Structure 1
Amino acid sequence: MLITELQTPALLVEQAALRHNLDTMSTALPGARLRPHVKAHKCTSLARLQYANGHHGFTCATIREVEAMAAAGLGTDLLLANEVLDTRRLGRLAKDGHRVTVAVDSTETIEAAVAGGVREVVIDVNVGLPRCGCAPGEAGRLADLARGAGLVVRGVMGYEGHLMLMHQEEQRRAQTEQAMQHLLAASADVGGELISAGGTGTYSVNTWANEIQAGSYALMDTAYQQLGQPFQQALFVLGRVISVSAGWAVVDVGLKSLSLDHGLPSIDGTEVWFCSDEHTTFRTDGMPQPAVGDLIRVRPAHVDPTVALHDTMHLVDGTQVLEQWPVDMRGW
């Protein structure tokens, strides 16, 4: 199949760029140093490539992701890096022999883990992002509570998400060190083997965590590309020009096929003006004039929520469709 035969909008993944990204990260963070975050691609076919590169532990954001990874035979070591108040589905997976660990940051989430049959937890620590996580000084108490309830506490995790897109690398490194000092202090109180943190934005500067939860590196987006990292844009939303006017044109890729939470998408050689539900309008002055029916590759600014809007990603080599992979970890 050629990409000209695809119904647009369609999610494309360039094989060569994907392979480059996977191998580049595996060289930087081999084996257990990387716990890939599957929320970025929500595709077990892609996760199998990460597994083949030596990364056998994975990070998940939803129960659905944990279930799909286990069903795909990738349940060796799955960390749900999120608080969950109904863990019965996770408990069933643990009972069936999959290794499932869940993040906890309160008495209530510990009680939920016990009630649902989860056996292993990490203490989630707030390292500066105002989201989930307990205060660092509370981590030891929560670990004692969890162990007293019969749970295995594997260690700590903390996400310095507020630093991921900081452009100055030295500033990003310095503030990552500050964030990780909170996590290391909590780790000293909690114990366990895991100090889990990080992401694509801090993978090269976070030398304090012993595993990094990066995910976006595999497919990349325009927000992360601004950091000058050694990863290539592998993900595109393919669209067709559906209208041409004097000075602008419209492609059939809009808010329902890509995410704008990190800004407008980009199209090579032109300026994107705005996006609406089913449309992206871009400037045509000073560029070769597109024709109705032309194919356009749109680069999303944020990979994770863009992928979650599609049922299928198409692995391509230029214009040739090599494989079609279901985005099989969508939903909850």
Structure 2
Amino acid sequence: MNPRTTAEIATPALIIDADALEQNLSTMSARHPGSKLRPHTKAHKCTELARLQLSHSHQNFTCATPREIIGMAAVGVGSDYLLANEVLDADRLSALAKVSENSRVTIAVDSLETIDAVWRAGLREVLIDVNVGLMRCGVAPELAGQLADNARKAGIAVRGVMGYEGHLMTVGDDEKRKMRVAESMKLLTRAAKDVGGEIISAGGTGTWDMHDQTGINELQAGSYALMDTHYEQLKIPFVQACFLLGTVISRSKDWLVIDVGLKSLSTDHGNPSVDGYDVVFCSDEHTTLVIKNESTKALANIGEKLLVRPSHIDPTMAMHSVAWLTRADEILDRWKIDLRGW
């Protein structure tokens, strides 16, 4: 039997608020229309949600895994895919060569080894991934031009550069974040002059409105669509659109327990949030809650359902195979989270 209301959904379950999602997509596309935004599918791993992003004029997508590109192309969502992640497995990359027959596929590279993997896979377009301060992937800015030359010598076209200022996404003070983003992007635009090409790609949800003067021409944001409490602290104009629905399965005099735990949401950015409650701790299948000091509400009863706001949406989505699209308590659709895997 297909559930018609959220009360009928087995928990734990992902719930997406259709109106909040539409608000977020509209807000972002108004600021970054068309190719100015390259939405990051890693944040939701769902082709149905990507289809909505496409309907908001975004044809080009950022992906974190070959699986995401293959899945997007299979359902005809998008026409220009960027694998914004270094992959050394030429066999895995070779699956993208078939996609590139009908769509544009570009691979991020930051070393001779990643260039070689791209060449062996039969792919012929790359972006030079430049380190702009995050201790993760990316070639040193001063070496980006040389790496681009090596790619071109191998017969690979270099479309431009990308860099991710992930270490700045949640700097609390807006002005300080904006200043540090500008400094970070100077590294990228200097590298872009050495590399050549038409693309300067960077940014994310936390810096979505800080690139008007930085020189980048496409934004790689993803979490804005569904949001989480980690980004919520920035007071940016995106609202929580995705929740975990949990059921109260146990209750004592002072606390209660819901059936949402570490196997259904990520806590790498902190505990989740539940309105009216403080989270004591999360364990594998459980989250223990107590009433907030200032709240006058009573503990929910066993069997009642509560909405949980995750602190990090990307890995939370990857833990589930389906999400329920809702409006109030009505179920509108059942979406597969069909881009999981590598």
Q: Which category describes the TM-score, using the shorter chain as reference length?
A: over 0.9
In 2, the alpha carbon distance for the partners of 1:72 and 1:85 equals 26
Matched, 1:319 2:329: yes
Q: Which amino acid aligns with 1:32?
A: S
Structure-to-structure mapping, 1:154-165, within 5 angstroms: 154-165=159-170
Q: What's 2:125 paired with?
A: 120
Match of 1:172 among 158, 171, 177: 177
Matched, 1:150 2:160: no
Q: What's 1:129 paired with?
A: 134
Task: Give the drift of 1:5.
Answer: 1.1
Q: What's 1:292 paired with?
A: 302
In 2, the alpha carbon distance for the partners of 1:132 and 1:319 equals 43
In 2, the alpha carbon distance for the partners of 1:296 and 1:117 equals 50
Matched, 1:91 2:97: yes
In 1, the alpha carbon distance for the partners of 2:285 and 2:130 equals 40
Give the SS at the match of 2:205.
coil
Matched, 1:80 2:83: yes
In 1, the alpha carbon distance for the partners of 2:125 and 2:160 equals 10
Gaps of 5+ in 2: none
What is the RMSD of the two structures over their aligned residues, measured on CA atoms? 0.9
Give the SS at the match of 1:201.
helix
Task: Give the drift of 1:75.
Answer: 4.1
1:178-237 C-alpha deviation (Å, 9 max, x unpaired)? 110000010000010100000000010123211000000000000101000001100000
Instruction: Kindly indicate whether the alpha-carbon contact (under 8 Å) linking 1:75 and 1:99 is maintained by their aligned counterparts in 2.
Output: no
Q: What's 1:71 paired with?
A: 74
Q: Which amino acid aligns with 2:50?
A: A
Q: What's 2:14 paired with?
A: 11
Q: Which amino acid aligns with 1:136?
A: P
Matched, 1:266 2:273: yes
Q: What's 1:201 paired with?
A: 206
* More off after superposition, 72-81 vs 8-17: 72-81
Give the SS at the match of 1:123.
strand
Q: Which amino acid aligns with 1:161?
A: G
In 1, the alpha carbon distance for the partners of 2:9 and 2:58 equals 33
Matched, 1:42 2:45: yes
In 2, the alpha carbon distance for the partners of 1:98 and 1:33 equals 19
Matched, 1:187 2:197: no
Q: What's 2:311 paired with?
A: 301
Give the SS at the match of 1:271.
strand
Q: What's 1:60 paired with?
A: 63
Instruction: Kindly indicate whether the alpha-carbon contact (under 8 Å) linking 2:54 and 2:78 is maintained by their aligned counterparts in 1.
Output: no
- TM-score by length of structure 2 reads 0.95
Moved over 2 A (4+): 284-287
Matched, 1:241 2:248: yes
Q: What's 1:310 paired with?
A: 320
Q: Which amino acid aligns with 1:91?
A: A
- TM-score by length of structure 1 reads 0.98
Q: Which amino acid aligns with 2:143?
A: E
Give the SS at the match of 2:7.
helix
Instruction: Kindly indicate whether the alpha-carbon contact (under 8 Å) linking 1:249 and 1:284 is maintained by their aligned counterparts in 2.
Output: no
Q: Which amino acid aligns with 1:101?
A: T
In 2, the alpha carbon distance for the partners of 1:206 and 1:296 equals 38
Number of matched residues?
331
Instruction: Kindly indicate whether the alpha-carbon contact (under 8 Å) linking 2:94 and 2:121 is maintained by their aligned counterparts in 1.
Output: yes
Q: Which amino acid aligns with 1:82?
A: N
Q: What's 2:143 paired with?
A: 138
Task: Give the drift of 1:324.
Answer: 0.4
1:91-110 C-alpha deviation (Å, 9 max, x unpaired)? 2322x322110000000000
